[in-house]
Structure 1
């Protein structure tokens, strides 16, 4: 019988997991895919998006089925029926007569010039013009992009007005969003694979036009790290999709925010704004764009946190800018003030003159108010930007360097976990993973996690068990020469999964406890609790391992004044061709009911 349990207490975590597991009235439970796999098409510029399903209940091996493939679904569509839109100062249907003269000129520009109407038709899906780039499917390559799943609104406690919004959209289709190399950000129905909408940012139009020309360079994905959130800018609740468009040699950066609250309506998306980089606002478009909220003069204010690059001409270092989501955009710039916070001249023993910030995450309290932003830079440093000054009279505190790794950091955004000891910020470097607590008291040296070779993987253990990882954090040097982290995800309230790549092309998958950095606990056949083997190789041709959380024991109804526990199994499944097998697993508990001196009770439907 499983005796070991991992339990993270705390009001924020309980609220998060209650909201994630709360059923909606129009639930599609049992119909949704378990995962989505991006693969290549027959040409470097085309791609496939597979929605895959398999059974996980009480079995260790399962047959994998493709529920739908987005390219095949698009190829069956009448191109005139696709709801594609062009961004910029305003949102317009992507039809020749609807776009302005400047957009028409951009489509005409690539040599041979003057083919704008045919290029627009190609981007809409036409494949009859032999003079344009050939393709085997209308779906462009999604290489380098991530999928973002947007479900119906979940329960958000202590958010005025959100309950009505949640009930109004309870039957909303679950959507899957991905940016592809033709510049289009697609929204697909997660159950059927039908394209509900497509958005072409104005900043990506020139690259999209050039892509239609055989032999031209292929642009990067316009939205490699989409993020989404329920927010109420200007007092109206809506579901927002936030994206950054990284700069290239041919294209400046940009950011945009879409309202995707009603993807099946006549107006499936609405554009809040699209903001291009400029000398006045040197955006990088890097990392996920995060929304955050604060109270100002008694009103809720919303902004999108974006990264800005250093400008040597003015002497400004790199930093972050808060672009208002509740104010209009005038001439490509936010009206009113857009608060900016910059790096100090030094941090963790090194200067910041040439520092580039890569990705950010935001810490909010139980009421949703932003408290801090954690940002990683290209030299392996983790920075804390305090946000308590927003809406208050005090000045912003200087950004602080919390930790510096030995090598350069990756572009993965930090993950914020919430053990009972306080926020724990996990971030990845080229060959290292670190968890740094953000506490008020003094912090010692992070505990080192050692890797012990076992079979085709490793067992991760704290090298100094006597150190307090809750107060000091931990750091894990990756065990293989040249190994680097490629993806980093939180899987449940207490665990992390990440994948790595070594110079020989081998990929590995890890599952660890977030609080300790050690391998998860498993029960041997003889009932002994042991640390599990992790860091096992997998075939990345079939996607990264898939985390599946399954309830195993329900603690029963909550009794006032007492708490109860539900038990879950967390399994990491690896897909190999048409078969999925359970590679790693563990169990954890979720606490419901009484939380210390007060209770969080759901009283709404």
Structure 2
């Protein structure tokens, strides 16, 4: 599958750091966008175990099966009829034996007929109607294939008896008459034929499968006549002309047929007829070949290529099966290639080019009539299957049904609605899932250096590699799969598991050790015990790779320079500069996976402790979908007390509580055999800790380098740790900041924001701030489900003195019911608004920090299903705390007025004012009058999100020049069942860019010069396109999706031709950005002027004439400096106006 074009357009002046492309379904996405709402319910929340809308699907297809019961079906030993019965039972199942074949209940709607119905009297008395015809409402008419209807079909199969001739034309004529049934309860397009009429689903596809063992011999049985339908010029239902003089139609037409017509004429008629003209023509066209294809000397358009099916009307696709010698050869041209049995081989090209014609099957020997089956299949845009043996016959039925199932299972899982994307300079990586069979995939698409757009074909797909039968590509026995046995990391093999894990996999004492071992082997990738295999008893899988739904892709390449160049890290970067890049992503097959980013080969899998509870279920034949490793992985470098390491932190999301940590410093992972694994650092996913819940939050990222997490940090006690919100549904149900140390005893330090239990609450994604730029994090901001924006003070050198800011000097509050947040988000009516995404923080010109955050959640079904969803809001509030240096320490000064207790009345409302014809939205410019002395002055602004159901679920991004970009989303409807409107199961994304301080439009037009004052637009379907090409730093304006109606909108590259001496589009390999940017790679030299990008490690400037050089510019020339504070100094981290393009991949 080709990825939709990434919407990268005009170059922007602002220095926007590289963004990854991400998508999510349950909670926050990655570096910037999307989804959720409503206030929490009392008690524990129930997290869905399937993606929202996963129950929505394309309508089940109508399939009519016509089989030959003529006398010749009694020939051969075993008889052809015996072979037919076996093939159909093995394909469609035998309800009396409890088998389903390859068709699960309710997946198709089936009708059937036979040429004579010779065996009707061997069926139960209530089923002896004539099933050699098709009539609305009859036992053999099209109905949902399950229950009684399934049993009736099986009775039909077993009653088949050979006798009489072969009136094949009648079969197609019956289909024509039956398809013409008008709308009503018996219509093939009714919601449930014979039961419920409406709603009619006009996009439902219809198929006819004709199986015969020889030449037809009774054209008169068909009524009405088809005539030479494929030899007559006509207008198709979509307005396209089928012309008998057009070379494009040469394959389909012939010059014979008379009044009766051939099978090919009937197939063309059934395909070209709009049987339900009162319904919209919205059947989804099949376009497997996307460009014109050379066939012989002819360039065949996609419309007339028989490998495609452009039918959008309610017509019939025709498949044919010829069984036995009389139906598989005709001894003349057009030649069929019996070596390959390829419908597009033999004389296929010559038929198109007119150098060979179809045989006149209306005259001459009966033997030539078998060619009519090939012709009919091409005319009906299906395929012809020559079945020479009983096994060929079964394979034909199964291949046809598999094709039909694939054509009618458009996944909600198209790339735009699946989990996640990540873009680097070389590749766009896209993960997805298929809710039809709960499989997943991860694909790499090469990015063109000139256009910045991904290729239309994948360089590699992980599922293809993992499903390979070549043991050098994928070997279940040698695959590196690790786990934790409750004590230490181990290889995931039966002998290494502890007694509890073995008991879970054996279902206590219900199963044997052999079965338990088979389950472990199954999870490792062995398929010999799948039910389809002889003696198999575990679930059949379509792929070894499970569905990837909410987990974002995380790229780990060579170590990158952090904001502070810590002692020893330069050497660590140097020694790992050639490290193999790996993509990490969680899947709902019980594992975190690591894939070589260049080749796609899996290098690591990890089974967390918390996944074991559902592993047995995953192997069962009645598997019901569960989330496993559905949280977001991220990595970061840390010093563990003796050496530098790269650690991966993973979570289970809705799959379970807690987190795990792996050492991924070296991606040359190996199986430890019976020994311990040094890769597994700790696993806290089977935790009994009362304050650890389900962690959904996507990681907070370094604003300049999006592959560096700001949650793996050094703290003021000199130790390295992971900072996390405790998530939701913990036993205590209260907001807690988790500080998981990575060195020493690796203990966990929780800081409780509010000690009241049972609140249906928890802490979301945290944002850590290094106030003084010394490389240690001083304060952390994070929100909870009750709308509280908490500030945690970690300034002191002992963690016993850390806690929630008490808003009095530098004192803290911890584990109390009286701790006060910075702000409580509430609607205008006073309802609290949940905060799940991390805020973004920047310097305020009067000192202190400006904190920008949005509200909303998407955790439980009612978050999406509310008839009147709660209004959610983007807030920007001023934390007036000032900071000063005292030697090497930071002192904070928090007055009693630093927290905002008066809610919205302390803020200025910004509102939507207009929307232009291109979909760009403008918002108000109401003044926010800040003051250092007036305690009643406004403390920020807010913007209520204008679209019903819209919410902020991902972390806002700071763009520079005080501009923040906030992604929001209206989540897809939780549609269940059949629908023609799969777009309603797609998230609708929006982006809003405002000045964080004033709430007005930014100084630089983010959406291009055509919309200079716009602040907002619709954007995507819940994903976020990279604003910057990570490879070379080129930036482009964001294009609105409002009027995008094509499949490849907004793809202009706007490549500039600048020389590096300035100009808005300086893109000639210099990395320059802005009119005063000096020449040279990455604008090397001194930063001079309002719009330059520095070449130094971090030269971040505030003010028009800031001239900073070096890695840490602390100078009073940079912006406004408040005496006794360092609020606006140029410091490393997140708070200056600019970040250079250092070491971006």
The two structures have a TM-score, normalised by structure 1, of 0.77
Which of the numbers 462, 465, 469 marks the counterpart of 1:73? 465
> Does 2:914 match 1:522?
no
- Contact in 2 for aligned 1:456/1:536 (Cα 8 Å): no
How far does the alpha carbon of each residue in 1:304-336 deviate from its partner, in whole angstroms, 9 at most, with x for none? 4451779888xx95422323221336xxxx3xx
1:205 & 1:31 partners in 2: Cα distance?
Answer: 38
Alignment CA distance shift 1:206-1:395 (3 Å):
closer
Alignment CA distance shift 1:465-1:368 (3 Å):
same
Alignment CA distance shift 1:168-1:56 (3 Å):
closer
1:98 & 1:262 partners in 2: Cα distance?
Answer: 23
Corresponding residue of 1:124: 524
Name segments (4+ residues, structure 1) moved above 6 Å.
308-313, 572-578, 583-588
2:540 & 2:751 partners in 1: Cα distance?
Answer: 46
Corresponding residue of 2:853: 427
> Does 2:870 match 1:409?
no
2:1011 & 2:876 partners in 1: Cα distance?
Answer: 25
The SS at the match of 1:167 is helix
Corresponding residue of 1:448: 909
- Contact in 1 for aligned 2:1018/2:1040 (Cα 8 Å): no
Matches within 5 A, 1:120-269: 120-128=520-528, 129-130=530-531, 131-156=537-562, 157-246=564-653, 253-266=657-670
Deviates more, 1:397-406 or 1:232-241: 397-406
Deviation at residue 82 of structure 1 after TM alignment = 1.8
Alignment CA distance shift 1:63-1:180 (3 Å):
closer
How far does the alpha carbon of each residue in 1:276-328 deviate from its partner, in whole angstroms, 9 at most, with x for none? 465554311423573332243xx434354451779888xx9542232322133
Corresponding residue of 1:20: none
> Does 2:734 match 1:327?
no
How far does the alpha carbon of each residue in 1:26-84 deviate from its partner, in whole angstroms, 9 at most, with x for none? xxx986323x333223635222223334447468x876443322222221222223211
Unpaired runs of 5+ residues, structure 2, are: 1-9, 18-422, 469-473, 532-536, 672-676, 700-710, 804-811, 814-818, 857-871, 883-897, 933-937, 974-983, 1055-1063, 1065-1072, 1075-1090, 1113-1141
The SS at the match of 2:595 is strand
Unpaired runs of 5+ residues, structure 1, are: 10-28, 554-565
- Contact in 2 for aligned 1:426/1:436 (Cα 8 Å): yes
Alignment CA distance shift 1:175-1:528 (3 Å):
same
Alignment CA distance shift 1:497-1:473 (3 Å):
same
Corresponding residue of 1:342: 752
Deviates more, 1:464-473 or 1:90-99: 464-473
- Contact in 1 for aligned 2:592/2:606 (Cα 8 Å): yes
The SS at the match of 1:412 is coil
2:678 & 2:854 partners in 1: Cα distance?
Answer: 34
Deviation at residue 201 of structure 1 after TM alignment = 0.7
Alignment CA distance shift 1:474-1:226 (3 Å):
farther
1:188 & 1:577 partners in 2: Cα distance?
Answer: 33
2:734 & 2:578 partners in 1: Cα distance?
Answer: 46
> Does 2:692 match 1:292?
no
Deviates more, 1:357-366 or 1:89-98: 357-366
Corresponding residue of 2:989: 508
1:99 & 1:108 partners in 2: Cα distance?
Answer: 12
Alignment CA distance shift 1:573-1:52 (3 Å):
farther
1:3 & 1:197 partners in 2: Cα distance?
Answer: 39
> Does 2:947 match 1:480?
yes
How far does the alpha carbon of each residue in 1:180-227 deviate from its partner, in whole angstroms, 9 at most, with x for none? 112200111222211110111122122122211122343224251222
- Contact in 2 for aligned 1:151/1:175 (Cα 8 Å): yes
How far does the alpha carbon of each residue in 1:482-503 deviate from its partner, in whole angstroms, 9 at most, with x for none? 2233444537555425241155
2:579 & 2:1046 partners in 1: Cα distance?
Answer: 33
Alignment CA distance shift 1:66-1:600 (3 Å):
same
Q: State the number of aligned residues.
A: 548
Alignment CA distance shift 1:528-1:146 (3 Å):
closer
1:523 & 1:435 partners in 2: Cα distance?
Answer: 19
Deviates more, 1:228-237 or 1:351-360: 351-360
Structure (1 or 2) with the greater strand fraction: 1
Deviation at residue 370 of structure 1 after TM alignment = 1.6
Higher RCO, Cα 8 Å, sep 6+? 2
Structure number, greater radius of gyration: 2
Alignment CA distance shift 1:393-1:103 (3 Å):
closer
Corresponding residue of 2:41: none
Corresponding residue of 1:531: 1013
Structure (1 or 2) with the greater helix fraction: 2
Alignment CA distance shift 1:489-1:184 (3 Å):
farther
2:780 & 2:16 partners in 1: Cα distance?
Answer: 22
The SS at the match of 2:427 is coil
Alignment CA distance shift 1:134-1:159 (3 Å):
same
- Contact in 2 for aligned 1:144/1:221 (Cα 8 Å): no
The two structures have a TM-score, normalised by structure 2, of 0.43
Q: What RMSD over aligned residues (CA atoms) do the two structures have, in Å? A: 4.2
Which of the numbers 62, 84, 94 marks the counterpart of 2:492? 94
Corresponding residue of 1:43: 436
- Contact in 2 for aligned 1:63/1:578 (Cα 8 Å): no
